[in-house]
Amino acid sequence: MLRRTLFFSVVLVSLAFFIEAQQHRQSRTKRSSQTQRHRRRARSLKPPVTSFVTDSGGRELIVRLLDIGQGDATYIRNGSSKVIIDGGPDTAAFGRYLDSLSLNNSTIDVVILSHQHLDHYSGLRELFKTSRHIRVQYFFENKDPAPAVTLAELRDSILSRMDRDSLIYRDTDDPCSNGRPICTITMTGGAKLHLLAPLPNGDGPNNRSAAVKLIGPDSASFTMWLAGDAEHDEINWFDATGYNRNPGIRVNVLKADHHGSCNGVTPRYLELTHPQWVVASLGARNDYGHMHTQAKAIYRTAGVPWYRTDQNGTITIRASGKPGGGFTITPDRPGTDLDGPSDRTSQQGACTMGMK
């Protein structure tokens, strides 16, 4: 009884949703140390699944890796809390998901942009379309300077809502505005997200990806690691900087970094994350050769099966939140360890030498 009372007290104190630490207004000044890399282009978008079973409230944690084409878009639901990580390359495709997930006229508690590439931020502009009446409570991104007009458009929408006091805009380099690299977000069903500051001096947008460790309401049942498009430099840094110990990166499910690129995985990374499943988000026809043969070989050698959105469609993970309840992972279309039409062997040096 006491434990039950304590649990409900904790939930009540959390007041539906909270983020540790106080809000501090972010400076609009952008760091100027980053170099601009090529823009990713969206290709071969497939129409997304158009209807979902209504996501329940309660303690169940639901993660949907959306079939958004060549890009990333993840929707997380737990209790009444809603979180979106990246919005894919295309507003129309992401908009159809907002419709099918019944997110119009609702509040999204947290939106996280992992990094400044079009295949991650472009669809997020749809959240701010007036006719959708979507309220965004917190928006996180690293605020690095980037010249893309479409990114400027997104940032203008964010700043305009911030000026109206309807949105809190946070820098992933200081995600809780308290000088600490880890910000813990608690969802109303008891799931937690640790939002982790990116590599401070990454050599481009990919290596400036914010990482997220998602922990189910029953932490023994489900955990997941998502690190945007982090490449070897940042992956090694996750290890060196101590994220491997706090909050720990050993998880049940790993979102393949960088759409299954060989520069987004190393044997050591799989040793540390030790996932039961890898899920990759990519378009069937992409210019990059994703998923790379070398990446698949590393997953295969480690004995980790994968699902991929271009072949399996949207991938849904559910964790009941009950102690020992485990989790399920269900793709729209069956088949594991599938190949795709664009898969090829990468010639980039990072994938042919110095792997560890």
Contact 209, 115 (CB under 8 A): yes
Q: In the complex with Zn ion, which residue's Cβ is closer, 34 or 81?
A: 34
Considering only residues 299 to 318 of the shown chain, the ones binding Zn ion according to CB under 5 A are none
Q: In the complex with Zn ion, which residue's Cβ is closer, 119 or 126?
A: 119
Q: Which of 354, 227, 346 is nearest to 281 (CA)?
A: 227
Q: In the complex with Zn ion, which residue's Cβ is closer, 90 or 229?
A: 229
Q: In the complex with Zn ion, which residue's Cβ is closer, 117 or 296?
A: 117
Per-residue string for binding with Zn ion, 203-242, x by CB under 5 A? --------------------------x-------------
Place of tokens 């942009």: 113
Q: Give 260's DSSP letter.
A: G
Query: CB 114 → Zn ion: shortest distance, Å?
Result: 8
Contact 220, 248 (CB under 8 A): no
Burial of 75: CB neighbours in 10 Å, binned 0-12, 13-18, 19+: buried
Annotate 126-153 with b (16+ C-beta within 10 A) or e (fewer): bbbeeebebebbbbbbbbbebebeebee
State which amino acid sits at residue 37.
R
Q: In the complex with Zn ion, which residue's Cβ is closer, 109 or 229?
A: 229
Query: CB 161 → Zn ion: shortest distance, Å?
Result: 25
Q: State the Cα–Cα distance between residues 67 and 331, nearest whole angstrom.
A: 10
Q: In the complex with Zn ion, which residue's Cβ is closer, 146 or 191?
A: 146
Query: CB 118 → Zn ion: shortest distance, Å?
Result: 8
Contact 205, 232 (CB under 8 A): no
Query: CB 285 → Zn ion: shortest distance, Å?
Result: 15
Per-residue string for binding with Zn ion, 26-65, x by CB under 5 A? ----------------------------------------
Considering only residues 68 to 127 of the shown chain, the ones binding Zn ion according to CB under 5 A are 119
Query: CB 79 → Zn ion: shortest distance, Å?
Result: 29
Q: How many CB atoms lie within 10 A of CB 301?
A: 10
Query: CB 126 → Zn ion: shortest distance, Å?
Result: 18
Interface ranges with Zn ion (CB under 5 A): 119, 229
